[in-house]
Chain A
Amino acid sequence: MASDGNDPDEVLLAGVSRGEPAAVRQLLDRRLPRVLALARRMLNDPGEAEDVAQETFLRAWKQARAWKPGGARFDTWLHRVALNLCYDRLRRRREIATDAPPEQVDTGPAPDAGLMGAEVSRRVEAALAALAPRQREAIVLCHHQGLGNIEAAALMEISVEALESLLSRGRRALKASLADLRGTGG
């Protein structure tokens, strides 16, 4: 996963390592929303997602001074750290929830029946949460994070063929569980 030498974050990261407030702020503006969104969609829990995002960037700050330009792209490294932290939490949930069902988003009726968009959003979130974790990871990386297939496969440490299989199965499962919403999405 070597970069092509054009990592857009390298200059900012050098600034972060020198303690430049503007570089810190700019890097957070650029990357924190993506990390937070990734964690939110992987974990289906806003509080846990925020914890993961915070831990990811605390590790990034530690890494900043040791960062070697020309190696892995910083964004790829961030995704890997965030995903690992998400998996730690998903594993812990499975260990704790032996007799209780895993925490799911509330799929009951919206408080306001007029909140159609919010209800659809909750349904989609629940459907994503119900996927097998690797299928969810593949869909979040490729669709939501906008990564290319080669980069996503490398991040997941699988072949492109295996990634395509996960995407295909995941999207088929989503289509089935959201069949009644087809046509709602815009």
Chain B
Amino acid sequence: MMSLERFEDLAEIYGGDIARWPEGEREAARALLASEAGRLTPVLAAAAQLDRLLDLAPAQSPDAALMGRLISAAPQPAGGGRRWIAGLSAALGLSAAAFAGVLVGVTAGRPAPMAAPVAVTTAAEPVVTAVDTSAALQDAIAEPAAL
């Protein structure tokens, strides 16, 4: 059985919504509220007043520029470079594997493409903002097969 004092403490600590109180104490709190509604309903109402004020503290919505920067900076598909390599090497008359080997040798800090050649599909969702070269490439290529 929860004490009246504990109920009042919980309202002061967690606010006027019992659903946001510690899970293990909610049932006892509701039972106490049912039997002491006259005394405890005002306690909850007072705590809920502060909750409503707190809800007015400004949040912030992400703007398109921030979304665009983060989308552009996200990891690129592992096979992303491979299609580009295949296209370029074909133009130069080299095998894709040989050309990739040359590139891997000179491209420090970028992992070698490991995935098998992938099918070209339409990107599931268009990237809408701040598209740079890498993002455009990302849109143009397929998602790799399951790892």
Contacts and interface: CB of A to CB of B under 8 A. Distances in A.
Interface of A: 16-22, 24-26, 28, 32-33, 36-37, 39-41, 46, 49-50, 53-54, 57-58, 61, 64-65, 117, 120-121, 124-125, 128, 139, 142-144, 146, 148-150, 160, 164, 167-168, 171-172, 174-175, 178, 181-186
Given A143-B54, A150-B22, 15 more contacts: A18-B77, A18-B78, A18-B143, A20-B143, A21-B74, A25-B127, A61-B75, A128-B54, A144-B57, A148-B23, A149-B22, A168-B13, A171-B15, A178-B53, A185-B50
A33 B74 CA distance: 17
Contacts of A58: 70, 73
A185 B75 contact: no
Contacts of A39: 60
Contacts of B9: 164, 168
B139 A21 contact: yes
Interface of B: 9, 12-15, 20, 22-23, 49-63, 66-67, 69-71, 73-78, 80, 123-125, 127, 138-139, 143-144, 147
A19 B138 contact: yes
Given A117-B56, A178-B53, A61 B147 contact: no
Contacts, number: 149
B62 A53 contact: yes
A182 B49 CA distance: 6
Contacts of A164: 9, 13
Contacts of B76: 19
A175 to B, nearest CB: 6
Given A19-B77, A36-B61, A120 B56 contact: yes
A168 B62 CA distance: 31
Contact of B49 (A24, A64, A144, A185): A185
- The DSSP consensus for interface residues of chain A is helix
Contacts of A57: 70, 73
A65 to B, nearest CB: 7
A78 B45 CA distance: 33
Contacts of B143: 18-20
Given A22-B123, A22-B125, A33 B59 contact: yes
B57 A121 contact: yes
Nearest to B10: A164
B60 A36 contact: yes
9 contacts: A19-B74, A19-B80, A40-B58, A40-B59, A128-B57, A148-B23, A164-B13, A175-B50, A185-B56
Contacts of B74: 16, 19, 21, 24, 61
B65 to A, nearest CB: 9
B120 to A, nearest CB: 14
A126 to B, nearest CB: 10
Given A36-B61, A61-B74, A54 B147 contact: no
A19 B50 contact: no
